[in-house]
Amino acid sequence: MNDNKCQTDNDASPGCVPEESGNCCPSSAGTGLTAIKLAPAGMIERLRKMIEARDPYFILTGSDPSETGGCCPSDDIGAANSLVAADILEFWTSPAGTDACPSVFYAFAGEIGSRDQKPSFTINEDLRQEVLNTISNL
């Protein structure tokens, strides 16, 4: 087994570029903390402020521009979803009417739970410190 190649077609998504670790991902996305380095400056600043203020989440409105048929395309949503794909963030979407753009709550991975079909948030100090260290070293 060669660790530097995607092992099967199921391992790769279109545009997959094998990384040294053997992980396969779209070439525009990073994995893990590497994804933060590839994020737009505005998203990096949003994460830094969220950590420093000890905010449990941030909210964006719109849809991922890469999704066909989405309403209200938002580059911020696209950037946040890249961090979701890299297991840095996770999200919860509030129900929206058919004529409204969705509001999306983003928190760090492992921080969103559920109570009575509503999100609950628990801060993951370890991950937040890793993210802050990564941001500080950019």
Kindly report, residue by residue over 29-76, the tens digit of the pLDDT: 567 899 999 999 999 999 999 999 999 999 999 999 998 877 889 999
Residue 71: predicted pLDDT: 80
103-108 β-sheet, strand order = 58-61, 103-108, 89-93
Distances (CA, A) of 8 to 3, 17, 100: 12, 13, 40
Residue 29: predicted pLDDT: 53
How far is it, in rounded angstroms, from Cα 50 to Cα 44?
Answer: 10
Q: Output 31 or 4, whichever has higher pLDDT.
A: 31
Judged against a pLDDT cut of 80, whether residue 107 lies above it is answered with yes
10-14, 71-75, 85-89, 125-129: the lowest-pLDDT one: 10-14
* Angle separating helix axes 125-136 and 41-53, nearest 10 degrees: 130
